Structure 1
Amino acid sequence: MLLLAVLAGCSREPAQEDAGTTSAAAGEQAAPSVTVSADQALETMPDWQAPAVSLTDENIEALLAQADEALQAGRLYEDDESAIPIYLALKAGAEQASEAADGTEPTEATETAQAVDAAERSDTETAEKAEAGLQRALTALLAQGDAALESIDDAPEALQRAQQIGAVARAVAADADPVVAYLERVELMERVQQANVAGERALAAGRIDSGKDAALPHFRHALELREADARALQGLAASESALIREAEQAAEAYDYDKAEAGLARAAKVRSGDDTVAHARERIAAMRVERIGDLRDQGIAALSREDGLDTAREHLAELLRIAPKGDPAAIELRERIELATHYGLFRPGQVFTDALKNGGRGPQMVVVPHGAFTMGAADDEAGASDSERPTRNIRFDRGLAFARTEVTVAEFRRYLEATGNEPRAVRRGYSTAYDERSGNLVRRSGADPDDGYTGERADDDMPVIHVSAADAAAYARWLSEQTGHVYRLPSEAEFEYALRAGSQDRFPWGEGTPPAGSGNFTGGEDVSPSGRRWRNAFEGYGDGAWGPAAVASYRANAFGLHDMAGNVSEWVADCWHDNYRRAPRDAHAWVNPGCREKVVRGGSWASSPEQTRSAWRLSVRGDTTNARVGFRVVREI
């Protein structure tokens, strides 16, 4: 027994010291020798050393029971009261005792020999129990390690525990097949996490999908190593979000091409996900809102007197960011085009201006801007040299024409407001139609209140018996009353409005006028006494002999009535025998103090040749008669 005690005392605790450990005091727990920090999680798996276990002859059975209890509770390696450190200590102590016994010299003492044999059997039994327990503990340990590996998606720090378990398993049985397989699984997970960490660092540095050491290749490599790895999938989602944010920032800076490029990059990150589609909808909504804002700002600028350039700037920005054919861009472009040519009006718009003394001015129609060839072609039948040479006239801005000739009531209002006496009143007569002779004759007392026969006219009849000066004075009065520029049209403006887009001989084309198109000399017209025209449009009748009430016939393509018929009209130009030195634009050709003025447009008593679009007539400016009236234009 003494020898056994000596062997026990020499074979256990010194063995622990040789292993680099010290005995723990009774009841004291030794701390684990390995702690895997977060920084070490991606480093080479560290070594593990078992905590020192205090082993004596007297506590072997107690330690076996303690180890079995710890194994049952799942406390496998953490301290000197855990299963694996105890089993290792028991196994090592038993093996050392057996080696010491094998080196003892035989003795004659039978009692001593028997004691030695008993000790050897006890050590062997202890070693076997320790080994069996150690194998069970190793199996449980690897199960804990696999559980840690499986929980990494929910708890990334579980890799540290899996690595620690791997270190313990390697220390216990490095060459065992289950340990080797487990270590391979841990190594694979380490490589996955290394790829994830590299991807996260690249993502934090803004290297997402291009350039050296970009994030996406790292995350994709992690998924190649471990399909459906949560951390890698999260990295892909974060990369996608970063690209989407870049796209949104580009959109916030109104760079929608860059934004779309960013979304295209984001769409390549993950498949089967609608995040990019939603982002594209958000950016599209931002774009639509910005486009709408620019359109509204541009339209608002057009309402200001000096806002045209500002509106064009808004349009340029809108065109830069808008898709091709965007309705808002088209609308603003059209509004700017309209403002350029028509101010606050639209072509074809009908309006009236308020008069300072109450009421409204004449109805005006906005004539569209454009171009035409003024004058008669060399081969035009019935034309004269005074209508040549032709010249191209362009109107860069629209113009408002009176919808009809000025009426008797409108001109009377002017006379009553101003007290002016028209030429016919001052002179005491005008030229009127005589039904008995069928001629135009001097009629005493005829004035602008009268009709073509010298009798009082209805209010809606075109005013006649007015001179060119009378007409110009009425336009000046309108300007004073409305605050806008009213005047007589120039000869070029009148012909442009009369033609209304036609370059034919007559405004309607060739031949007889269409039914209801105007008050012309027609073969079917009959005077009150039964007279008929000797030179007229065959087969045409308009139901009138003399002027008709304004707007009795169909308007032309510009919305103007009676431009080619009813009564001829004064224009602003002085008479010139031809157009050789005429202005190249639409301005009136005026010589100060000229006596001869120009009359344009056919009348109720004009021959077919005088109804041509290019026809013009020289008339003394102080002439008043039953065939000539006027209309005004207003600058816009």
Structure 2
Amino acid sequence: MTSARARRAGAAAALALLLAAGCGRDSGSGDAAPDAVADKARGDGSVTISGDDRLADTLTWRAPKVELDNNEVALEDALERADAALEAGDLDAGPGSAIPLYQAVLAHVPDSAPAREGLERAFTALLAEGRQALARAGDDDAALRRAREVAAVARSLRPGGDQVVEYLAGVDRAEEMAEINRAAEVELREGRLGEAGGGALAKVRQALALDADQPRALQTLAAVESAMIRRAEEAASEGDFETAGTWLAHAGEVREDVDTVDDARARVDTERRRWIERLRDDGVAALSKPDGIERARTLLARMLTLAEPGDPAVAELRERIDLAVHYGSFRPGQRFTDAAAGGRGPRMVVVPHGGFTMGAVDGDRDAGDSERPRRNLRFDRGFALSLHEITVAQFRRFVEATGYRTRAERRGFSMAYDERSGNFVRRSGVDWRSDFAGAPAAANLPVVHVSARDAQAYADWLAEVSGERYRLPSEAEFEYALRAGGRGRYPWGDDAPPAGTGNLTGGKDRSPGGRGWSNAFDGYGDGHWGPAPVGSFTANAFGLHDLEGNVSEWVADCWHDSYRRAPTSGAAWVNPGCRMQVVRGGAWASSPPQTRSSWRAPSPVDNTNARVGFRVARDI
């Protein structure tokens, strides 16, 4: 404002002379100013547009009416207000804006140099503002409206000026682009993507033909691709992978050099995998029901339309159908898993029906009265046992699914191996997540530090989520499976264990600190001090791992001092509310006498330590 007032002071005398001349001049006479700015200033600010200009309706500007007295003071004040408005960026919005004020002064004093100069500066600022609005117009409708407003004002000031003509052409392009973009967005919202021609895709490509880098059009293009991908994924979720593939092919033609479609194909393939596995699970479940074979074959046929050749899930269901056709639901030695809570249960092995003699063999010097009297038992129907002990990973799945807290967690300790003393000691913070020494356990180790009640809770959960009759094995079932047809003191016979028999106490075994066993199988070594990953040793004749060693196992029976009055069916001998339960089978830290086939021991149902885990049985 200081510079404007100085300029005003320097031109005061000239303004007075111009006022005298201006007051006697007819603003509509033929003595028009030679340039467009002065010529426009004499009118009311309106421009009549002719021809086929597509923006004619939006480019007519009528200058706001300025009430201005025709005297020196009023005109000087108007010039100062116009300069202030110009500096503030208020160019054309109302009667107090720079351009209307300059025009009002020129209407009274056409030769006013300050008004001409100010109007020229306002015109330059106006075009600059318009160009800035044009730069944003592709993504901002408000900026496009402002660009049109500027176009109307600029055209009224200099109808034929080169800058104005060039600017108007830019507005025209922006308006055309905006219309195309809006039309593309309407097509997109109404679901007409244009995969077969037309639709949103055609519109957006029309826009990009005008400007290959136009952000709004590129955004719509990406949205078209996303809509096609979404349709592909919706089709996949319904199992219609043919339609999903068609939509992915369309999406792949929308944009180049992007990973979105490849990522979508990976998601659809994942969904395909889920469908294949779900069909496999449904087929397996069908086989246990009347007339389930035909249902399973139908599901297999559906799987074959989805899976690649050699798919393992397809092979599994095909084999299960073949077994059902030729052997009924199961066969001796068969391994299987059940669907359980969105995943798979433990691998099971069908133990064949048959008979055996339970209890200590005659002349066994290490046997106690609890292993007698010997008795003959027969299983008229086979049953299934888990291939190996339940692992840490399998138990974790149960805990995560149910929120179950084990006995060791609730009381805060368990019995773990202490390397310094070579004994088992009470150690705080040890639970099912821990290994034999209390360190974090690997997922494929047998779970230890679990009580009999913890083991029963896992079996109950597995039965619930699978719909099958899972349970802890009976003591008779355990010994029958452990012997696997043998009649010796040990599962492998009467002599020393052959190499690779199992995780036993061997004379060659050494702890991390160099300790050895004081009572062990001479000359035997298995390379482990503590439990080994399940299944690390050869399966027995029934196809089961680790029954003779690794960890001892809880069975369902309550403890009784002998087999007198035990069930003759081989079922578990259970008394309501019993506090002591039976542990069977040798462990990594068991002496040779504790590895005998008939060995059994009592343990409180809440006891937990690093030597005892469990496996599950299932009725078939």
Bin of the TM-score, shorter chain as denominator length: 0.3 to 0.5
Find the structure with the greater CA-based Rg.
1
TM-score (norm 1): 0.47
TM-score (norm 2): 0.48
